[in-house]
Amino acid sequence: MCGIVGIAGQHDREWVHRMNTVITHRGPDDHGEYRSPEGLVSLAMRRLSIIDLQSGHQPMSNADGSIWIVFNGEIFNAPEIRPGLERSGHRFVTSNSDTEVLLHLYEEKGPAALEDLNGMFAFVIHDKKRNVLFGARDRMGIKPLYCSKTNGRFAFASELKSLLTLPFIEREIDHQSLFHYMTLLYVPDEASIIKNVHRIPPGHQFTYDLNTQKLAVEKYWQLRFETAGRRQHGHENRHEPQLRCFHARYANRARALARLHQSVGRGAVIPRCHRQGPERGAWFRDAKRRLPTRNARHRRRRRRVDP
Protein backbone atom coordinates (compact mmCIF):
# COMPACT_ATOMS: atom_id res chain seq x y z
CA MET A 1 0.00 0.00 0.00
CA CYS A 2 1.31 3.41 -1.03
CA GLY A 3 -0.23 6.86 -1.17
CA ILE A 4 -0.11 9.74 -3.65
CA VAL A 5 -1.17 13.40 -3.37
CA GLY A 6 -0.85 16.53 -5.46
CA ILE A 7 -2.09 20.04 -6.24
CA ALA A 8 -2.30 22.10 -9.44
CA GLY A 9 -2.76 25.87 -9.19
CA GLN A 10 -1.53 28.53 -6.80
CA HIS A 11 -0.64 26.89 -3.47
CA ASP A 12 1.85 26.85 -0.64
CA ARG A 13 4.52 24.17 -0.46
CA GLU A 14 3.42 23.37 3.10
CA TRP A 15 -0.02 22.29 1.86
CA VAL A 16 1.38 19.35 -0.10
CA HIS A 17 3.71 18.39 2.72
CA ARG A 18 0.76 18.30 5.12
CA MET A 19 -1.31 16.22 2.68
CA ASN A 20 1.52 13.70 2.41
CA THR A 21 2.17 13.55 6.14
CA VAL A 22 -1.35 12.47 7.10
CA ILE A 23 -1.03 9.31 4.98
CA THR A 24 2.31 8.20 6.44
CA HIS A 25 0.66 4.91 7.40
CA ARG A 26 0.29 4.07 3.69
CA GLY A 27 4.05 4.20 3.06
CA PRO A 28 6.52 4.06 5.94
CA ASP A 29 9.53 3.06 3.77
CA ASP A 30 10.07 6.18 1.67
CA HIS A 31 8.57 9.53 0.74
CA GLY A 32 9.24 12.28 -1.76
CA GLU A 33 7.95 15.56 -3.14
CA TYR A 34 8.19 17.35 -6.50
CA ARG A 35 7.36 20.98 -7.26
CA SER A 36 7.42 22.40 -10.78
CA PRO A 37 9.79 25.34 -11.41
CA GLU A 38 6.91 27.79 -11.74
CA GLY A 39 5.38 26.46 -8.51
CA LEU A 40 1.98 25.61 -10.01
CA VAL A 41 2.19 21.79 -9.75
CA SER A 42 3.25 19.71 -6.76
CA LEU A 43 3.30 15.93 -6.47
CA ALA A 44 4.14 13.82 -3.42
CA MET A 45 3.91 10.21 -2.33
CA ARG A 46 4.44 7.79 0.53
CA ARG A 47 5.95 4.44 -0.46
CA LEU A 48 5.71 0.92 0.86
CA SER A 49 8.56 -0.86 -0.96
CA ILE A 50 7.44 -4.09 -2.65
CA ILE A 51 9.23 -4.13 -6.02
CA ASP A 52 12.72 -2.70 -6.59
CA LEU A 53 13.40 -2.27 -2.90
CA GLN A 54 16.65 -0.31 -3.26
CA SER A 55 15.59 2.20 -5.91
CA GLY A 56 12.22 3.23 -7.30
CA HIS A 57 12.09 6.52 -5.39
CA GLN A 58 9.14 8.74 -6.26
CA PRO A 59 8.15 11.18 -7.64
CA MET A 60 10.04 9.88 -10.69
CA SER A 61 10.85 11.63 -13.97
CA ASN A 62 11.96 10.68 -17.45
CA ALA A 63 15.42 11.53 -18.81
CA ASP A 64 14.71 15.16 -19.75
CA GLY A 65 12.41 15.91 -16.80
CA SER A 66 9.42 16.65 -19.03
CA ILE A 67 7.26 13.94 -17.40
CA TRP A 68 6.87 13.34 -13.66
CA ILE A 69 4.83 10.57 -12.07
CA VAL A 70 3.47 9.48 -8.71
CA PHE A 71 2.17 5.93 -8.71
CA ASN A 72 0.33 3.73 -6.23
CA GLY A 73 -0.02 0.04 -7.01
CA GLU A 74 1.69 -2.62 -9.05
CA ILE A 75 1.96 -3.32 -12.79
CA PHE A 76 1.93 -7.11 -12.99
CA ASN A 77 3.12 -7.33 -16.59
CA ALA A 78 5.91 -4.73 -16.26
CA PRO A 79 8.64 -7.38 -16.93
CA GLU A 80 6.95 -8.21 -20.26
CA ILE A 81 6.56 -4.54 -21.29
CA ARG A 82 10.10 -3.41 -20.44
CA PRO A 83 12.06 -5.29 -23.18
CA GLY A 84 9.91 -3.73 -25.91
CA LEU A 85 10.53 -0.25 -24.55
CA GLU A 86 14.28 -0.93 -24.38
CA ARG A 87 14.24 -2.00 -28.04
CA SER A 88 12.50 1.29 -28.85
CA GLY A 89 15.41 3.21 -27.34
CA HIS A 90 14.23 3.89 -23.79
CA ARG A 91 16.97 3.77 -21.17
CA PHE A 92 16.11 2.59 -17.68
CA VAL A 93 17.85 3.74 -14.51
CA THR A 94 16.34 1.26 -12.05
CA SER A 95 16.73 -2.51 -12.17
CA ASN A 96 13.07 -3.58 -12.16
CA SER A 97 10.85 -0.67 -11.08
CA ASP A 98 7.33 -0.97 -12.48
CA THR A 99 6.92 2.77 -11.91
CA GLU A 100 9.69 3.47 -14.40
CA VAL A 101 8.12 1.05 -16.88
CA LEU A 102 4.82 2.93 -16.62
CA LEU A 103 6.63 6.24 -17.00
CA HIS A 104 8.39 5.21 -20.22
CA LEU A 105 5.27 3.50 -21.56
CA TYR A 106 3.37 6.78 -21.21
CA GLU A 107 6.27 8.61 -22.85
CA GLU A 108 6.04 6.16 -25.75
CA LYS A 109 2.26 5.89 -26.19
CA GLY A 110 0.62 8.67 -24.19
CA PRO A 111 -2.83 7.89 -22.74
CA ALA A 112 -3.03 4.78 -24.97
CA ALA A 113 -0.53 3.16 -22.57
CA LEU A 114 -3.48 2.17 -20.39
CA GLU A 115 -4.46 -0.52 -22.89
CA ASP A 116 -1.22 -2.41 -22.20
CA LEU A 117 -1.42 -2.39 -18.40
CA ASN A 118 -2.30 -5.40 -16.30
CA GLY A 119 -2.35 -4.56 -12.63
CA MET A 120 -3.83 -2.54 -9.81
CA PHE A 121 -2.95 1.13 -9.94
CA ALA A 122 -3.76 4.76 -9.38
CA PHE A 123 -1.30 7.25 -10.83
CA VAL A 124 -1.00 10.89 -11.84
CA ILE A 125 1.46 12.26 -14.39
CA HIS A 126 2.54 15.86 -14.90
CA ASP A 127 3.15 16.12 -18.65
CA LYS A 128 4.98 19.40 -19.19
CA LYS A 129 4.90 19.20 -23.00
CA ARG A 130 1.10 18.91 -23.06
CA ASN A 131 0.82 21.07 -19.92
CA VAL A 132 -1.67 18.68 -18.34
CA LEU A 133 -2.10 16.38 -15.40
CA PHE A 134 -3.04 12.93 -16.62
CA GLY A 135 -4.14 10.15 -14.31
CA ALA A 136 -6.03 6.90 -14.19
CA ARG A 137 -7.42 4.22 -11.91
CA ASP A 138 -7.26 0.47 -12.50
CA ARG A 139 -10.12 -1.41 -14.11
CA MET A 140 -11.58 -2.85 -10.90
CA GLY A 141 -10.93 0.20 -8.74
CA ILE A 142 -8.62 -1.60 -6.31
CA LYS A 143 -6.52 1.51 -5.72
CA PRO A 144 -8.40 4.64 -4.58
CA LEU A 145 -8.11 8.12 -6.03
CA TYR A 146 -10.04 11.17 -4.79
CA CYS A 147 -10.01 14.58 -6.44
CA SER A 148 -11.47 18.05 -6.07
CA LYS A 149 -11.64 21.00 -8.46
CA THR A 150 -12.52 24.27 -6.79
CA ASN A 151 -11.46 27.92 -6.73
CA GLY A 152 -9.14 27.53 -9.73
CA ARG A 153 -7.25 24.65 -8.13
CA PHE A 154 -7.20 20.90 -8.68
CA ALA A 155 -6.12 18.48 -5.96
CA PHE A 156 -5.97 14.69 -5.74
CA ALA A 157 -5.11 12.15 -3.06
CA SER A 158 -5.32 8.47 -2.21
CA GLU A 159 -7.37 9.25 0.89
CA LEU A 160 -10.06 11.77 1.65
CA LYS A 161 -8.28 12.95 4.80
CA SER A 162 -5.44 14.42 2.73
CA LEU A 163 -7.83 16.66 0.83
CA LEU A 164 -9.46 17.79 4.07
CA THR A 165 -6.16 19.39 5.15
CA LEU A 166 -6.42 21.93 2.32
CA PRO A 167 -7.80 25.36 3.23
CA PHE A 168 -9.78 25.75 -0.01
CA ILE A 169 -11.82 22.55 0.52
CA GLU A 170 -14.74 23.05 2.89
CA ARG A 171 -15.71 20.26 5.26
CA GLU A 172 -19.34 20.26 4.17
CA ILE A 173 -21.33 17.02 4.10
CA ASP A 174 -22.95 16.10 0.80
CA HIS A 175 -26.55 15.38 1.81
CA GLN A 176 -27.24 13.14 -1.19
CA SER A 177 -24.19 11.03 -0.34
CA LEU A 178 -25.29 10.92 3.30
CA PHE A 179 -28.69 9.61 2.20
CA HIS A 180 -27.03 6.89 0.15
CA TYR A 181 -24.75 5.97 3.04
CA MET A 182 -27.62 5.68 5.52
CA THR A 183 -29.58 3.59 3.01
CA LEU A 184 -26.89 1.41 1.45
CA LEU A 185 -24.09 1.67 4.06
CA TYR A 186 -21.75 3.03 1.39
CA VAL A 187 -21.52 5.95 -1.05
CA PRO A 188 -22.00 4.70 -4.64
CA ASP A 189 -20.55 5.86 -7.93
CA GLU A 190 -17.95 8.63 -7.99
CA ALA A 191 -19.38 10.73 -5.16
CA SER A 192 -17.88 11.08 -1.68
CA ILE A 193 -19.32 12.06 1.68
CA ILE A 194 -17.80 15.56 1.27
CA LYS A 195 -19.32 18.06 -1.14
CA ASN A 196 -17.14 18.93 -4.17
CA VAL A 197 -14.84 15.94 -3.56
CA HIS A 198 -15.20 13.04 -6.00
CA ARG A 199 -13.62 9.69 -6.74
CA ILE A 200 -12.19 8.80 -10.12
CA PRO A 201 -14.35 5.80 -11.09
CA PRO A 202 -12.75 2.40 -11.79
CA GLY A 203 -11.61 1.98 -15.38
CA HIS A 204 -11.51 5.74 -15.97
CA GLN A 205 -8.82 8.26 -16.84
CA PHE A 206 -8.75 12.00 -16.32
CA THR A 207 -6.98 14.95 -17.91
CA TYR A 208 -6.68 18.31 -16.19
CA ASP A 209 -5.64 21.07 -18.56
CA LEU A 210 -3.40 23.52 -16.72
CA ASN A 211 -4.08 26.24 -19.30
CA THR A 212 -7.88 26.17 -19.33
CA GLN A 213 -8.32 24.62 -15.84
CA LYS A 214 -10.79 22.14 -17.31
CA LEU A 215 -11.14 18.59 -16.02
CA ALA A 216 -12.17 15.76 -18.36
CA VAL A 217 -12.93 12.27 -17.03
CA GLU A 218 -13.30 9.45 -19.57
CA LYS A 219 -13.86 5.71 -19.46
CA TYR A 220 -11.01 3.70 -20.97
CA TRP A 221 -12.28 0.19 -20.21
CA GLN A 222 -15.62 -1.60 -20.30
CA LEU A 223 -16.32 -5.06 -18.91
CA ARG A 224 -17.37 -7.47 -21.65
CA PHE A 225 -18.85 -10.91 -21.13
CA GLU A 226 -17.85 -13.82 -23.33
CA THR A 227 -20.71 -15.67 -25.01
CA ALA A 228 -20.99 -19.43 -24.70
CA GLY A 229 -20.41 -19.90 -28.41
CA ARG A 230 -16.94 -18.33 -28.25
CA ARG A 231 -15.60 -20.64 -25.54
CA GLN A 232 -13.10 -23.25 -26.58
CA HIS A 233 -12.48 -26.61 -24.94
CA GLY A 234 -14.88 -25.73 -22.11
CA HIS A 235 -13.86 -27.34 -18.85
CA GLU A 236 -10.17 -27.74 -19.70
CA ASN A 237 -9.46 -24.01 -20.06
CA ARG A 238 -11.83 -22.51 -17.55
CA HIS A 239 -9.08 -22.08 -14.93
CA GLU A 240 -6.36 -20.83 -17.28
CA PRO A 241 -7.28 -17.11 -17.03
CA GLN A 242 -7.24 -17.43 -13.23
CA LEU A 243 -3.84 -19.08 -13.39
CA ARG A 244 -2.37 -16.37 -15.63
CA CYS A 245 -3.65 -13.67 -13.25
CA PHE A 246 -2.28 -15.60 -10.26
CA HIS A 247 1.19 -15.91 -11.82
CA ALA A 248 1.25 -12.25 -12.84
CA ARG A 249 0.11 -11.13 -9.41
CA TYR A 250 2.71 -13.04 -7.38
CA ALA A 251 5.67 -13.36 -9.75
CA ASN A 252 7.55 -10.34 -8.39
CA ARG A 253 6.42 -10.16 -4.78
CA ALA A 254 9.09 -9.38 -2.21
CA ARG A 255 7.26 -11.31 0.50
CA ALA A 256 5.18 -14.01 -1.17
CA LEU A 257 2.29 -15.41 0.84
CA ALA A 258 0.07 -18.27 -0.26
CA ARG A 259 -3.41 -18.28 1.16
CA LEU A 260 -5.09 -20.83 -1.04
CA HIS A 261 -8.69 -21.87 -0.65
CA GLN A 262 -9.18 -25.60 -0.03
CA SER A 263 -11.04 -26.32 -3.28
CA VAL A 264 -9.85 -23.58 -5.64
CA GLY A 265 -6.23 -23.69 -4.53
CA ARG A 266 -5.72 -27.44 -4.48
CA GLY A 267 -8.03 -28.27 -7.35
CA ALA A 268 -7.01 -25.56 -9.81
CA VAL A 269 -4.02 -23.40 -8.97
CA ILE A 270 -1.45 -25.82 -7.57
CA PRO A 271 -1.72 -28.56 -10.27
CA ARG A 272 -1.51 -25.98 -13.03
CA CYS A 273 1.45 -24.25 -11.40
CA HIS A 274 3.20 -27.60 -11.54
CA ARG A 275 2.66 -27.70 -15.31
CA GLN A 276 4.57 -24.41 -15.60
CA GLY A 277 7.75 -26.08 -14.29
CA PRO A 278 8.95 -28.21 -11.40
CA GLU A 279 10.49 -25.32 -9.47
CA ARG A 280 7.31 -23.21 -9.44
CA GLY A 281 5.12 -26.22 -8.80
CA ALA A 282 7.30 -27.33 -5.88
CA TRP A 283 7.05 -23.87 -4.30
CA PHE A 284 3.25 -23.97 -4.34
CA ARG A 285 3.14 -27.57 -3.10
CA ASP A 286 5.36 -26.56 -0.19
CA ALA A 287 3.11 -23.56 0.52
CA LYS A 288 0.09 -25.86 0.51
CA ARG A 289 1.72 -28.20 3.04
CA ARG A 290 2.44 -25.26 5.34
CA LEU A 291 -1.23 -24.27 5.44
CA PRO A 292 -3.07 -25.77 8.40
CA THR A 293 -5.95 -28.04 7.49
CA ARG A 294 -9.43 -27.54 8.83
CA ASN A 295 -9.02 -30.47 11.25
CA ALA A 296 -5.68 -29.11 12.51
CA ARG A 297 -7.23 -25.71 13.22
CA HIS A 298 -10.09 -27.41 15.02
CA ARG A 299 -7.68 -29.42 17.19
CA ARG A 300 -5.80 -26.28 18.17
CA ARG A 301 -9.02 -24.60 19.22
CA ARG A 302 -9.96 -27.66 21.26
CA ARG A 303 -6.62 -27.58 23.08
CA ARG A 304 -7.11 -23.93 23.96
CA VAL A 305 -10.61 -24.54 25.31
CA ASP A 306 -10.22 -27.94 27.03
CA PRO A 307 -8.58 -27.95 30.49
* CATH at 159: 3.60.20.10
Number of folded domains that form the chain: 2
Reported as a single tens digit per residue, the pLDDT across 3-57 is: 999 999 999 999 999 999 999 999 988 899 999 999 999 999 998 877 666 778 8
Within-domain flag for 261 = yes
User: Do 156 and 79 fall within a single domain?
Assistant: yes
Within-domain flag for 305 = no
Contacts for 289 with CB less than 8 Å, ≥ 6 apart: none
Q: What is the 3-state secondary structure (H, E, C) of 28-94?
A: ECEEEEEECCCCCEEEEEEECCCCCCCCCCCCEECCCCCEEEEEEEEECCHHHHHHHHHHCCCCCCC
The candidate with the shortest Cα–Cα distance to 153, out of 138, 163, 143, is: 163
Residue ending a domain, choose from 186, 219, 252: 219
The candidate with the shortest Cα–Cα distance to 204, out of 144, 129, 127, 128, is: 144
Residue 261 has a pLDDT of 47
Q: How far apart are CA 278 and CA 300, in angstroms?
A: 33
Whether the Cβ atoms of residue 174 and residue 193 lie closer than 8 Å to each other: yes
Per-residue confidence at 240, pLDDT binned at 50, 70, 90? low
Within-domain flag for 224 = no
Residue 232 has a pLDDT of 56
Within-domain flag for 182 = yes
User: Do 144 and 279 fall within a single domain?
Assistant: no
Answer whether residue 242 shows pLDDT above 70.
no
Within-domain flag for 306 = no
User: Do 61 and 192 fall within a single domain?
Assistant: yes
Residue ending a domain, choose from 219, 246, 277: 219
Whether the Cβ atoms of residue 52 and residue 2 lie closer than 8 Å to each other: no
CA end-to-end span of the chain, whole Å? Answer: 42
Within-domain flag for 229 = no
Residue 49 has a pLDDT of 77
User: Do 261 and 154 fall within a single domain?
Assistant: no
Report how far apart, in Å, the C-alpha atoms of 261 and of each of 62, 78, 253, 265, 294 are.
42, 27, 20, 5, 11
User: Do 171 and 78 fall within a single domain?
Assistant: yes
User: Do 43 and 94 fall within a single domain?
Assistant: yes
User: Do 148 and 43 fall within a single domain?
Assistant: yes
User: Considering the entire predicted model, what is its pTM?
Assistant: 0.80
Whether the Cβ atoms of residue 116 and residue 109 lie closer than 8 Å to each other: yes
Within-domain flag for 303 = no
Whether the Cβ atoms of residue 13 and residue 42 lie closer than 8 Å to each other: yes
Residue 20 has a pLDDT of 96
User: Do 212 and 253 fall within a single domain?
Assistant: no
Residue ending a domain, choose from 160, 185, 219: 219
227 DSSP assignment: P
User: Do 24 and 158 fall within a single domain?
Assistant: yes
Reported as a single tens digit per residue, the pLDDT across 105-114 is: 999 999 999 9
Q: Domain limits at 24?
A: 3-219
User: Do 177 and 253 fall within a single domain?
Assistant: no
When pLDDT is averaged across residues 153-179 and rounded to a whole number, the result is 96
State phi, psi for 264 to the nearest 5 degrees. Answer: -65, -45
Mean pLDDT score of the chain, rounded to an integer?
83
Answer whether residue 81 shows pLDDT above 60.
yes
- Amino acid present at 25: H
The catalytic residues are: 2
